[in-house]
Every structure is written in structure tokens, then in C-alpha cells.
Amino acid sequence: MKNDILQALQIVSPIQLEEQMLVRPAHAKLGDFALPCFQFAKVLRKSPVAIAEEIAASVKHPLIQKAEAVNGYVNLFLNREVIATALLQTVLQKSATYGSSNEGNSGVVTIDLSSPNIAKPFSMGHLRSTVIGNSIALLLEKNGYQPVKINYIGDWGTQFGKLLTAYRKWGNEEDVRQAPIETLLKLYIRFHEEAESVPSLNDEGRAAFKALEDGDTDALALWEWFKTESLKEFQRIYDLLGVTFDSYNGEAYYNDKMEPVVQQLEDKGLLVESDGAMVVQLEEDMPPCLIKKSDGATLYATRDLAAATDRKNNYDFVKSIYVVGNEQSLHFTQIKKVLGKMGHEWENDITHVPFGLILQGGKKMSTRKGKIVLLEKVLKEAIGLAQKNIEEKNPALANQSDVAEAVGVGAILFSDLKQHRKHDIEFNLETMLQVEGETGPYAQYANARAHSILRKAGEANTFDVVEVNDYEWETIKLLEQFPLAVKRAANDLDPSIIAKYAVDLAQAFNSFYGNVPVLSDEANLPYRASLVRCVTIVLTESMRLLGMKAPEEM
């Protein structure tokens, strides 16, 4: 729409126009678009007032109903009825595919997301990675890419040697079965405590990891079991969140795939010795990338180099994304630099998508001793609160537990996604679940209300738009902007654009519904019901793109 208007203006403009010159006025009474003419005064040697008057007098386009020159601005009023008719028809016809595009040309984008560490609690950081990564995958898919979601499980590293040692000394099978992560975490903590007074424990831990790396059957069996039990716990969280993965190839998967990478680094003369370790030197201001420790053990970076190469070979991605916290920015910069030095041009297609912390009372929610926030508990609590709300406000509702789950989980997802991912966010269940304000339940509730109107209105097959009032117009303009919001969110890898959009649309719809008699005005019913239908289509799709469910009743 904006482009059409811009072109119409260009025909009569004495100067080359650019998209950002056409603005949206703050007040609807100033029109739908405005072209400030002050920027042209100097070149044209005319007053802005005169320029605006000339343009306003001559601009013509079927979408423009009226052009007014006011104090050096050209204020443009669009032909609401024509636009509304075309837009509603488009949305109704395209339904859930409204806003989809083929921009990505089926290119594969690998997305490294979630990636928790086994035998450790699923942290708030992993929650953010899961939720943000999942929404990015949905957004890319809507734009015609093929997302591949990879859960790069943290299942390898020296800590597993310590864990094996601790389990053999103090652990028992029954406890691990009962509460795997809690038990294993306790063992791990105990190892560190005891190692302070008995340093030889550390050597035992190292030896145990060495045995694991060398394929010792006993060590492998235990490690395998820890992994299975941990994954079972993670799976319960993924089920609640409704997130699935295309691959669970984690760090251990690369255990026997690092040698070629190390060899290549060596062949290219990139590997140098530093304090007994093997490293790749990077730019002056950047610490070197550690490839092998003095005892020959490989590192996190080594595995990521092997994984990146493997992903390129396997998927031939056009983009490779890593949704991992801010604190690992240096690691990913190093990885990219090393891949670049190895001669891989696709280094440029790798993007680290960082995000901030989740805070509680201004402090980082910690998984350290005594302060473990168990995510599953948090999710269950949110669902419980949502259930209580339903029992109070809508006790007759069918499928209560499904709705409570959609609302509780939706609240958590939405509060995470509504702010730009780089910001730290404050965790507060009560605020998240409020039906007023910028929350998931607010958007879900607006959608459910729209559905309830439709149940009463019945289905309209045809409609005529006689006149579009200001409330309807606000809603229609927002509907028109949805494809643009989807495109921007995908290009910027920024789900918050969609979350904000959903709140804006819900707000516009609520004020439309609060001020316009939808059901009692027979003559306008087919048109207004169609508008309401379009709102449900776009709100539902927005929420789907955030990974949320949109119940029709709540």
C-alpha cells in the first residue's frame, strides 16, 4: 500500500522520493500518510507550503481519496472502502497463509537452539534459547526458508569425568531413576566440595573422562544412562512448550569427528603451541581459540568447529544460526574467525543470535547451589494459576486443562518474546498472566472474544463495505501491515516485532469491538463479521509464529 502511494506521489513530485520520506502521522485526523515538504525547499527554491500545495493539487490514485496541503505537509487520506474490501478479501482467501512469502527460496537455515547440558538443570537461559529459536524457525518457514532445528545437547566434556567419579563413590541407581537431574547435580556439587580438601579427586575425574573418551565400556554405559534419564526430563519441558527438533546431535556426536578439523588446522599451519596447549591465534585484541589442551583433550570450540563444518556438509545451509546467550559472543566470534582462516567462505553465513538474562528481583536467576529454579515447576505453576483463573471466571468452559496449559505456557512464552531478545527480562508470573497489559493472555483473550462474536454472528458469505469508521480503519490498517511485520521479524531474527504486533492488533480490535455495534447493526453485520474473522486469522497466526496456542474459547 505504501509503495502504491509513493509511486502516485512520484509522478507529480518534482524530486526523487524515498520510502522513508512518507510518514505515518501521529493523529488519524491528519490522514493515513503525510509527506513533509521542508526537505525539498532548498533544492527547489520554493517554500514548503507552496510545494505541498502543488503536490496535493495534482496527486491522483484510486487508493487516494483526498490530499490536503497543511503547513508544508501533504496529508493523504486513503480510500478506506476500496482498501478494506480488497484487504478483507485477501485475508479471508489466504487465511493462515496471509503474510507468507517465498523470499527464502527454500534455502536451508540451521538453527542451533535450546542445547541444554545433561545432568544439569534446564536453565532459564535454555528456556530463552528454546523459545526464541523456535519462533525464529517459524518465522523463517513463513518466509519460505527451510528451518532445521538442532538441539546441540551438552553431553561431553571434562565435567562428565567428575560426574562418573562422584557417582561411583557416592551415588546410587535408585536416586538417579527417581530424580535424575537433581541427583546428578547434587553429586556434581559434592565432587567440587570434596575436591577442595582432596585435590587428588580432580585427577580421578580427569582419568575417568579420559577413559570415557577412549571408549571404556563401563564409563560409556553410565554416561549413556545419565544422558537418557536427563533427556527424559528435558522432553517433558519440550512437550509442555510444544517444541520439537530435527536433530539432537550434541557435543558427544562430534567426539570422533574432530580429528579432520584439527588436521586441517595443522595442514594450514594455523595450529600453534601456547603453554603446552594447541591454539589458533586470532587478531591482536582477541584471545586465541583453544583447540587442544596439554593432555590432548579437545574443547568446546573444537567441537563447535566440527559441528559447523558437519552442518555445512549435511545441509548446505544458506544461513546457520546459533541462539545462545550474550555471554558466549566471544566464543562465536572466535569460531567464525577460525572458520574464515580455514578458507570457508560460508563463515559469513553464520550468525550468533544473542539474548539477555532472565532476572528475578533484578538478579540473575541462578542454577547454582541452593537456588535452582526448576523450569518445569515454573511452567506447572503458570498453568495452575491459569487454571484457577478459569475456575473463577469461566467455570462452565470446556477443555479447561487444555486452555489452562495454552494460557499458562503462552504467558511465559509471550513475556519472553515481547521484548527485544538482547534485553535482560524480569521474570514475574503474576504480571505475565494478567489479562490486561502487553501479555500473552491479553492477545489470546482478544482472539477468543472475536471467536465468540463469530459464533453468534454466523458465517457471512459476501459483504459490502459501505463505510469504514475510525475504529474499523485502525484495525484494517494493522491487518494490512502484518506481511511487513512478518518480513521484518524474519529478516531481523526478532520475534518481538510479532509480539508487539499481536498486542497492537488485539488493542485495536478491543477498541473496535467496544465502540462499534457488531452484532446489533444488521446492515453492517456481514462486513463487520468478516473483519472480525480476519482479526482471528491474523491474531492466531501471529501467536502461532511465537509458538503459542490460540484457544477459541477461554
Q: What does the binding site for ligand ARG look like in residue numbers (CB under 6 A)? A: 112, 115, 117, 152, 154, 304, 322, 324
Query: Rounded to an integer, what distance in angstroms lies between the CA atom of residue 438 and that of residue 507?
Result: 9
Question: Least separation, in Å, of the C-beta of 181 and ligand ARG?
Answer: 14
Which of 222/324 has CB closer to ligand ARG?
Answer: 324
Which of 78/324 has CB closer to ligand ARG?
Answer: 324
Which of 338/465 has CB closer to ligand ARG?
Answer: 338
Which of 117/536 has CB closer to ligand ARG?
Answer: 117
Question: Least separation, in Å, of the C-beta of 364 and ligand ARG?
Answer: 14
Query: Rounded to an integer, what distance in angstroms lies between the CA atom of residue 420 and that of residue 440?
Result: 16
Query: Rounded to an integer, what distance in angstroms lies between the CA atom of residue 156 and that of residue 154?
Result: 6
Question: Least separation, in Å, of the C-beta of 443 and ligand ARG?
Answer: 30
Question: Least separation, in Å, of the C-beta of 123 and ligand ARG?
Answer: 7
Q: Which of helix, strand or coil describes residue 23?
A: strand
Question: Least separation, in Å, of the C-beta of 154 and ligand ARG?
Answer: 3
Q: Which three cell numbers stand for residue 47?
A: 517554500
Q: Which three cell numbers stand for residue 419?
A: 521484548
CB nearest ligand ARG: which residue? 154
* Burial of 31 per CB tally in 10 Å (0-12, 13-18, 19+): buried
Instruction: Supply φ then ψ for residue 350, to 5 degrees.
Output: -95, 130
Which of 115/524 has CB closer to ligand ARG?
Answer: 115
Query: Rounded to an integer, what distance in angstroms lies between the CA atom of residue 522 and that of residue 463?
Result: 12
Which of 324/529 has CB closer to ligand ARG?
Answer: 324
**DSSP code for 428:** -
Query: Rounded to an integer, what distance in angstroms lies between the CA atom of residue 519 and that of residue 525?
Result: 6
Question: Least separation, in Å, of the C-beta of 323 and ligand ARG?
Answer: 8
Which of 299/508 has CB closer to ligand ARG?
Answer: 299
Question: Least separation, in Å, of the C-beta of 152 and ligand ARG?
Answer: 4
Burial 255-282, CB ≥16 within 10 A → b, else e = beebeebbebbeeeebbeeeeebbbbeb
Query: Rounded to an integer, what distance in angstroms lies between the CA atom of residue 118 and that of residue 172?
Result: 18
Which of 78/148 has CB closer to ligand ARG?
Answer: 148
**DSSP code for 247:** B
Query: Rounded to an integer, what distance in angstroms lies between the CA atom of residue 547 and that of residue 541?
Result: 10
Q: Which three cell numbers stand for residue 309?
A: 563444518
Which of 2/364 has CB closer to ligand ARG?
Answer: 364
**Backbone angle region of 45, left / alpha / beta, with phi > 0 → left and psi within -120 to 50 → alpha:** left
Burial 152-183, CB ≥16 within 10 A → b, else e = bbbbbbbbbbbbbbbbeeebeeebbeeebbeb
Residue of 419, 386, 332, 378 whose CA lies nearest to 135: 419
Burial 394-430, CB ≥16 within 10 A → b, else e = eeebeebeebbbbbbbbbbbbbbbbbbbeeebebeee
Question: Least separation, in Å, of the C-beta of 58 and ligand ARG?
Answer: 58
Question: Least separation, in Å, of the C-beta of 116 and ligand ARG?
Answer: 6
Question: Least separation, in Å, of the C-beta of 214 and ligand ARG?
Answer: 23
Which of 184/403 has CB closer to ligand ARG?
Answer: 184
How many alpha carbons lie under 13 Å from residue 228 in its C-beta half-sphere? Answer: 8
Yes or no: say if 341 and 268 are a contact pair by the CB < 8 Å rule: yes
Which of 323/486 has CB closer to ligand ARG?
Answer: 323
**Backbone angle region of 463, left / alpha / beta, with phi > 0 → left and psi within -120 to 50 → alpha:** beta
Question: Least separation, in Å, of the C-beta of 436 and ligand ARG?
Answer: 36
Question: Least separation, in Å, of the C-beta of 491 and ligand ARG?
Answer: 23
Which of 152/513 has CB closer to ligand ARG?
Answer: 152
The sheet with strand 73-78 has its strands ordered as 33-36, 73-78, 64-70
